[in-house]
Amino acid sequence: MDSDAATYCVLRARPRDWAGAFWEAAEHREDAPDAIRAFLAGRNRVELSRGAATDALDWAAAVDGWADAEPKPLFLYDPAADR
């Protein structure tokens, strides 16, 4: 197994109109992690470490609108899981 491939994953965002309340609330939070800031700036995917992805998802889960959004606004793709 390639150890570099095992150290990162991809956090992806679903279209904003699926979870508008979440994204609106996230835009008003000053404590957003860098990955979330990238999505707020228009990105739809961010490569990051598993730890940073977990931190971003934990942060997102505490933002208004997350609990009610189905499907969730963000999801994790782990390239190592495809091996």
65 close to 24: Cβ distance less than 8 angstroms = yes
21 close to 73: Cβ distance less than 8 angstroms = no
- What is the pLDDT averaged over residues 23-28? 95
pLDDT, one tens digit per residue, over 36-79 is: 999 999 999 999 998 999 999 999 999 999 999 999 999 998 76
